[in-house]
Amino acid sequence: HMTAEAVAAVRIIHDHMRTVRDQLTDADWDKPSACAGWTVKDVFSHVTSNQKEMVDPTPPPAEPLPAMTAEQAMDALVAPRKDWAAADVLAEYDRYADAWFGALDALQQEPMASTVAPIADLGSYPLHQLANAFAFDHYCHLRIDLLGPDAPLRVELPEATDEEVRPGILWMLWGMPQMQKDELAAAVTQPLGLRLTGPGGGDWTVSPAGADGLITITDGIGAGTAATVESSAHDFVSWGTKRCDWRSCCTVTGDEAYAAAVLDVLNIV
């Protein structure tokens, strides 16, 4: 299926996650990660709670909770784990990780794969794309929040490969039209080229919204673009999520003011 590659990426990312986990000292767990408000332990708790909820969902409360954004929902899973010992977080990982890979594999099979479902406030997506969402999210937490230049840990990992990076990049591109539907529809008034280099890279064009109110993203960069923004695919994970300012790692050709107006709005979850 079209996103079986995403499950492969998730497995690679988790091989690396285990490498990092196995090198953590007691002192490392409480260090602040590069994800605002989260320690190293919180980042791991985020991952393990995602796995647990997919494999063994917590029953909903008798009184329905108010609707939460994706970010609020993630914080709500991390919060009760703040009191856990590191050993408890590691035990949760060991208990659910393999079953979670299996659950992601199952979502690549029809009819589930093409079943469209809402994901919090992020829009609605075919279920096979959930593996891409995790490939993006867990790559970002691993390579940027735990191991990036502003992150607390120093663990040698192999250079990221296309196989590891690209499925997460695709999630970012699939999400852009829906995640900030009105803001981006207002900002994208002309075609904007996006050129991502290195592992996971490619060329895309971001085009103004049609009748459905959604901007579109297509392969390749056409002749009619007002500007083109270029960075590595890895850096896009960072600036596309507002972890860093796009100005620090992007090159813009063409109408720089227009590109800036779009990129200042962009904030992918």
Which CATH number belongs to the domain containing residue 16 in this structure?
1.20.120.450
Tell me, yes or no, whether 104 and 222 share the same domain. Answer: no
pLDDT at 146 over 70: yes
Average the pLDDT over 127-154 and give the result. 96
Over pLDDT 90: what percentage of the chain? 93
Average the pLDDT over 240-268 and give the result. 97
Provide the residue count of the chain.
Answer: 269
Helix 86-106, helix 40-55: angle, nearest 10: 40
Tell me, yes or no, whether 15 and 51 share the same domain. Answer: yes
- Residue 232, pLDDT score: 99
Tell me, yes or no, whether 103 and 219 share the same domain. Answer: no
Residue 259 in any domain: the answer is yes
pLDDT at 42 over 80: yes
Per DSSP, 35 falls in state: S
- Tokens matching residue 246: 């796009």
Over pLDDT 70: what percentage of the chain? 99
Residue 269 in any domain: the answer is no
Average the pLDDT over 159-164 and give the result. 97
> Which band of pLDDT confidence, cut at 50, 70 and 90, is reported for residue 35?
very high
Residue 29 in any domain: the answer is yes
> Please, which residues have CB within 8 angstroms of residue 174's CB and are 6 or more apart in sequence?
125, 129, 132, 217
Q: Which residues pair with 217 in a beta bridge?
A: 206
Taking Cα atoms as reference points, which of 162, 133, 153 lies closest to residue 17? Answer: 153
State the Rg of the chain over Cα: 19
Tell me, yes or no, whether 160 and 186 share the same domain. Answer: no
- Tokens matching residue 11: 């497995």
Q: How are beta strands 192-197 and 202-207 bridged, if at all? A: antiparallel
Tell me, yes or no, whether 9 and 122 share the same domain. Answer: yes
For 212, phi and psi rounded to 5 degrees? -80, 0
pLDDT at 1 over 50: no
Residue 209 in any domain: the answer is yes
Residue 268 in any domain: the answer is no
Tell me, yes or no, whether 146 and 194 share the same domain. Answer: no
**If you average pLDDT over every residue of the chain, what do you get?**
96
195, 203 Cβ separation under 8 angstroms: yes
Which amino acid is present at 268?
I
Owning domain of residue 198? 180-263
Model confidence, pTM: 0.96
Is residue 161 helix, strand or coil?
coil
Tell me, yes or no, whether 159 and 187 share the same domain. Answer: no
Minimum mean pLDDT range among 64-78, 151-165, 170-184: 64-78
**Alpha-carbon gap, residue 178 to 123, rounded angstroms:** 5
Show the beta-strand stretches assigned E in the chain: 116-118, 124-126, 192-197, 202-207, 216-219, 227-232, 251-254
Tell me, yes or no, whether 8 and 121 share the same domain. Answer: yes
Residue 171 in any domain: the answer is no
Tell me, yes or no, whether 209 and 149 share the same domain. Answer: no
- Residue 67, pLDDT score: 84
pLDDT at 3 over 80: no
- The Cβ-side half-sphere exposure at 76, using a 13 Å CA radius, reads 11
CA angle 124-129-162, nearest 5°?
A: 140
- Residue 66, pLDDT score: 84
- Tokens matching residue 57: 């969902």
- Residue 65, pLDDT score: 78
Residue 157 in any domain: the answer is yes
- The number of folded domains in the chain is 2
Q: Which residues pair with 251 in a beta bridge?
A: 230
Average the pLDDT over 95-124 and give the result. 96
